[in-house]
Amino acid sequence: MQVTMTVNGTEVTRDVEPRLLLVHFLRETLGLTGTHWGCDTSNCGTCVVLVDGEPVKSCTALAAMTDGHEVRTVEGLAQGAAGGGTLDPVQQGFMEEHGLQCGFCTPGMMLTARALLDREPDPDEATIREAISGQICRCTGYATIVRSIQWAAAHPAAAPTEQEVVA
């Protein structure tokens, strides 16, 4: 079957098997491997992308279900030039506050954070924790992810900054 959707601002049309999961459509059909896959049961949230601005677990959606919708992946977070550009404050926040270690859950966490901040620019800690509660991180123990999102909230127009140095 044919599906047409907007991915990171660009309209794409592809022939796919009806059973193709959105996560595999993004990763394998479009080659956007920043979206990861981590479980079979919609528990881990590694695969979260934004569909029309809302966080969706892309392992639990068919590509066909997003036909006609807008999908945003981690590759669409930074503004400007492909592969670089100006980082979203959320991306900058994760680097500033050590919100990532192995980096595997990070794209999903950042997209959920983006959706949260779009809806609620200055969330408190409890709200942040609840927002990311559908997602698992095995490395960070979450506190630095919370701080990363707080950093992004405090720097809504962040540009890349110099490395912080505390000897």
Question: Cβ 36 to another protein, closest distance in Å?
Answer: 7
Give me the half-sphere count of Cα atoms (radius 13 Å) on the Cβ side of residue 56.
Answer: 21
Question: Cβ 61 to another protein, closest distance in Å?
Answer: 16
**Cα–Cα dist 122/15, whole Å:** 42
Question: Cβ 158 to another protein, closest distance in Å?
Answer: 12
Question: Cβ 13 to another protein, closest distance in Å?
Answer: 20
Nearer to another protein, 5 or 26 (CB): 26
Residues forming the site for another protein (CB under 8 A): 17, 19-20, 24, 27-28, 31-41, 43-44, 46, 73-75, 77-78, 83-84, 87, 91-92, 94-96, 98, 100-107, 110, 125, 128-130, 132-146, 162-167
Nearer to another protein, 157 or 165 (CB): 165
Nearer to another protein, 13 or 163 (CB): 163
β-pairing verdict for 70-72 and 2-7: parallel
Task: State which amino acid sits at residue 154.
Answer: A
In degrees, rounded to 5, the angle at the alpha carbon of residue 27 between the alpha carbons of residues 37 and 143 is 40
DSSP state of 79: B
Unique residue bearing structure tokens 């991915």: 7
Give me the half-sphere count of Cα atoms (radius 13 Å) on the Cβ side of residue 37.
Answer: 16
Nearer to another protein, 66 or 148 (CB): 148
